[in-house]
Structure 1
Amino acid sequence: MYYVGSHRGDDPSTRAAEHNQGADPKAFTYKRRPVVLVWSEYFDQIVDAIAWERRLKGWSRAKKEAVIRGDWDALPDLSRSRNPRPSTSSG
């Protein structure tokens, strides 16, 4: 499982450390510790970071792993539906 979240500040590893401290038993990551930071990206604007976070949260595991690897070229193929809808055209 990959947890996707955003962080304000200079060092995202501090956010991972906060999750690992387990201060909030109701937090999503509490029962999934330890968490390990595997990828991060800097954004000038928090609204851009939040938009990217929301997009990533909806992606498949395979697409998230491509981002972690930095394999941006794989994303279009991974975006194609595995179960295409049957054609409704007659012909």
Structure 2
Amino acid sequence: MTSVRPKLKSDTPKAVTAWATRTGRSVWMRQDGTWSENVGEAAPFLGAEAEVRLAEAMGQEAVVTDPYFMEVTESGRIAGRETIRETIRATGPTFIFGEGI
């Protein structure tokens, strides 16, 4: 199954996000290329650098799964039309597993 994600303009700040292969948790790429479970540590990338960073993430299948861009502000805060979805990913499930829905 593939998801439909918005195409972002090259001048739009982007963060690279994915799921940690080992834990399944949401992760965000830091400026140094390492991964964090804290969305506040997500680095904003622009233009060609963003494309290079996404390509790097796609080559890390043992570490992350399904990396993609999400729109952020220049300071790295979640932005754009995917704000609600990405906020939920950043804060975790909206219900407690095992306690029903």
TM-score range, shorter chain: 0.3 to 0.5
Determine which structure has greater relative contact order: mean sequence separation of CA pairs < 8 Å that are 6+ residues apart, divided by chain length.
2
Q: What TM-score results when the alignment is normalised by the length of structure 1?
A: 0.32
- Bigger proportion of residues as helix: 1
Q: What TM-score results when the alignment is normalised by the length of structure 2?
A: 0.30
Structure label with greater radius of gyration: 1
